[in-house]
Structure 1
Amino acid sequence: MADVLTLSGIRKRYGGGKAPLVEVLHGIDLALAEGEFAALIGPSGSGKSTLLNIMGLLEPPSEGRLIIAGEAAHDLGDDARTRLRNRYLGFIFQFHHLLPAFSALENVLMPVFAGRGRVDAADRARAAELLERVGLAAHAYKQPVQLSGGQQQRVAIVRALMARPRLVLADEPTGNLDTQTAADVFALMREINRIDGTTFLIVTHDARLADTCERQVRLVDGALKH
């Protein structure tokens, strides 16, 4: 099975100049296979958010190699990283970041509009189909304030899937939900992974949810523990 993401010797340092240089990631080696469903776990301050930002092409590593879907991404400029991110990656966050002035359907369409500057009938049909798939067809034209927390997070999941990403990075996607809703949202992501083969890497502090993943990647003090 091919790897959708490969990290080799990834290091990240901050500071320099008059500020002391601090290294927060220490030579990370990690591969995620196509269709994998994995959890990234570890204590607060271990470097999980920094690692996720590098995987998501939101910031470059200080050292090392990053390959996404066979394309080298570690030394790209900002514009090239943005294009690669839009092509291969989807994101889900703890706080939904839905735009309050737009409907659920319009929020789902935002990644397409951001990438192309327009949406067409096929895009609208896909967005509607995805919302139906997660049980939100009747809520497509509601604004986020009219939705429950779990419904808003399902909209956020659909938005992440809109551009057919190879890899979805989820940063504490259930951290703002009650226990049952969190379990339901997690099950939805697992179902999408199983049916569509989309790779998921999920940062979570919930050990029960992490235990349902096929694999746990543990980060402690900027280094992977096996």
Structure 2
Amino acid sequence: MADVMVLQGIRQRYGGGDSPLVEVLHGIDLKLPEGGFSALIGPSGSGKSTLLNIIGLLESPTEGQLWLAGEQASGQNDRVRTALRNRYLGFIFQFHHLLPAFSAEENVLMPVLAGVGRISAADRERARTLLARVGLAEHAHKRPVQLSGGQQQRVAIVRALINRPRLVLADEPTGNLDSQTANEVFALLRELNREEGMSFLIVTHDPRLAQSCDQQFYLQDGRLLPPAQADERQ
């Protein structure tokens, strides 16, 4: 199976000058398989957010190499990283970050507008099809304030999928939901993973959800633990 994302020797340091130099990530090697459904877990302060920002091309590592869909992503300028991010990545966050002045459908289409500057009839059709797929066909023209928390998260999921990304990064996507809604959202992510063929990386504090993923990566003190040690921590 091919890998959609490969990280090799990733290190991240902050500080310098008048501030002490602190290394947050210590030589991370990671491969995410095409079409896989993976979990990234670890305690607060372990470096999960930093690693996710690097995988999402939101910041560059101090050292190491990164390939996304076979393309060199490390060492690139902001313009190239933005183009790779728009082409290959989708993002789902714990907090929905929906724009309150726009409808569900309009929020879903924002990545298309940001990427190509216009929205086609085919884009609108895909947005409506996906909204229907997650049970929101009748809510497409409602604004976020008119939707429940679970419905808003479904809108955010559809927004992440609108551009058919190769890899979806989900940062605590169920962390702000009640247990029943969280289970429904997680089940939806798995279903979309199978049906759309996209790869997912789920950052979660919930070991039960992590165990439901195809593979788990455990981060502690900026290092990925070997599988045997990771199993002991869960």
**TM-score category by the smaller chain?**
over 0.9
Provide the identity percentage.
74
Equivalent-residue separation in structure 2 for 1:33 and 1:153 (angstroms): 25
Matched, 1:4 2:17: no
Equivalent-residue separation in structure 2 for 1:138 and 1:18 (angstroms): 57
Counting only pairs closer than 5 Å after superposition, residues 47-62 of structure 1 correspond to structure 2 as 47-62=47-62
When normalised by structure 1's length, the TM-score is 0.99
Equivalent-residue separation in structure 2 for 1:114 and 1:203 (angstroms): 25
Structure 1 unmatched ranges of 5 or more: none
Which residue of 1 is the match for residue 203 of structure 2? 203
When normalised by structure 2's length, the TM-score is 0.96
RMSD: 0.5
Query: Which aligned runs of 4 or more in structure 1 are off by greater than 6 angstroms?
Result: none
Equivalent-residue separation in structure 1 for 2:220 and 2:192 (angstroms): 29
Equivalent-residue separation in structure 2 for 1:4 and 1:219 (angstroms): 20
> Could you tell me how far 1:60 is from its partner in structure 2?
0.2
Which residue of 2 is the match for residue 30 of structure 1? 30
Residue by residue over 1:154-182, the C-alpha shift from the partner in whole angstroms, topping out at 9 and shown as x without a partner, is 00000000000000000000000000000
Aligned partner of 1:14: which letter? Y
> Could you tell me how far 1:30 is from its partner in structure 2?
0.3
Which residue of 2 is the match for residue 155 of structure 1? 155
Aligned partner of 1:163: which letter? N
Equivalent-residue separation in structure 1 for 2:183 and 2:54 (angstroms): 28
Equivalent-residue separation in structure 2 for 1:156 and 1:122 (angstroms): 20
> Could you tell me how far 1:124 is from its partner in structure 2?
0.4
> Could you tell me how far 1:120 is from its partner in structure 2?
1.1
Structure 2 unmatched ranges of 5 or more: 227-234
Which residue of 2 is the match for residue 120 of structure 1? 120
Aligned length: 226
Equivalent-residue separation in structure 2 for 1:68 and 1:115 (angstroms): 18
Aligned partner of 1:125: which letter? E
Counting only pairs closer than 5 Å after superposition, residues 1-226 of structure 1 correspond to structure 2 as 1-226=1-226
Secondary structure (helix, strand or coil) at the match of 2:84 reads helix
Residue by residue over 1:70-112, the C-alpha shift from the partner in whole angstroms, topping out at 9 and shown as x without a partner, is 0000100011100000000000000000000000000000000
